[in-house]
Amino acid sequence: MNATEKDLPQLEESFIEEAERIISQYPVSKRSASLPLLHLWQRHFGFVSPQGVQWIAEKLDLEPIAVEEIATFYPMIRQRPLGHYQFKVCRTLSCALAGSYEIFEYIKKSCKTVNEVGHHVYVSEDGKFSVEFVECLAACGNAPVMMLNEEEWMDVTQTKIDAILNHLIREKRKEEF
């Protein structure tokens, strides 16, 4: 166990095992595991903190800057938390032709995502919802397309958004009570 692991009591045994399993898939160069470990970290903690960068760097015998450099290059890797429910609406041509900009505005309005925290990225006051534009999701035949966290949604309509939100709000209530 290295120094950072000791500082991170929330790191479970299973997390470390999973990290080891990932590293074993790159027998030629551990450095290749940088992005996979960033994915792993983000899946667990929602975003990649400086601590995360530090831990991954130590795990892979790299300077933290080498990991930082990756974390800041790839749009899917985040350095700060986003909504608990993240809408990612495809902005690119086929989806735009099918009305994705209207869908984007509709989600923004419905989720009251009023705070613009980055270019094309909005978060709701309570931090529960975020909506952002992403580029082509490779499902253009079913435009407009979006992702809700890691789930893909095709042929999105305002009615579908309503149904999804109703469902999420019900789920959220369950969590809270």
Partner 1 sequence: MAKAEYRLILKHADEPGYTVDIDCYLSHGGYQVLKKALAMPPDQIIQEVKISGLRGRGGAGFPTGVKWGFINHEKNTKPVYLLCNADESEPGTFKDRQIIYKDPHQLIEGMVISAYANRAHLAYIYIRGEFAKGAEILEKALAEARERNFLGKNILGSGYELEIYVFRGAGAYICGEETGLIESLEGKRAYPRIKPPYFPAVLGLYMCPTIVNNVETLCHVKHIVEMGGAEYARIGTPNNTGTRIWCVSGDVNKPGYYEYPCGAITFGELLYEVCGGIRNGNKLKAVIPGGSSAKVLRADKKYKIPKKKEDGSTEIVEMGLEDIPLDFDTVAATGSMSGSGGIIVMDHTRDMVECLRNIAEFYAHESCGQCTPCREGSLWMKKMLDRICTGGGRPEDSKLLLEVANHIAGRTICAFGEACSWPVQSFVEMFGEEFEAKQRKESSLEILEPLTNRTA
Give the span between the Cα atoms of 42 and 36, in whole angstroms. 10
74 in contact with partner 1 (CB under 8 A): yes
| Count of C-beta atoms within a 10 Å radius of residue 164 | 19
Considering only residues 109 to 128 of the shown chain, the ones binding partner 1 according to CB under 8 A are none
Q: Considering the rule CB under 8 A, would residue 94 count as an interface residue with partner 1?
A: yes
Report in angstroms how near the CB of residue 57 gets to ligand FES at its nearest: 35
Query: How far is C-alpha 103 from the geometric centre of its chain's CA atoms?
Result: 20
Query: Does residue 148 belong to the site contacting ligand FES (CB under 6 A)?
Result: no
Q: Which of 94, 117, 165, 168 binds ligand FES (CB under 6 A)?
A: 94
Q: Omega of the bond prior to 144 within 30 degrees of 0, cis?
A: yes
Which residues share a beta bridge with 134?
Answer: 90
Site size toward ligand FES (CB under 6 A) is 12
Single out the residue of 11, 19, 33, 121 in contact with partner 1 (rule: CB under 8 A).
33
Buried b (16+ CB within 10 A) or exposed e, 50-80: eebbbbbbebbebeeeebbebbeeeeebbee
Binding residues vs ligand FES (CB under 6 A): 90, 92-95, 136-140, 143, 145
| Residues at the site binding partner 1, with contacts judged by CB under 8 A | 25-29, 31-36, 38-39, 60, 66, 69-70, 73-77, 91-94, 96-97, 101-102, 105, 134-143, 147, 150-152
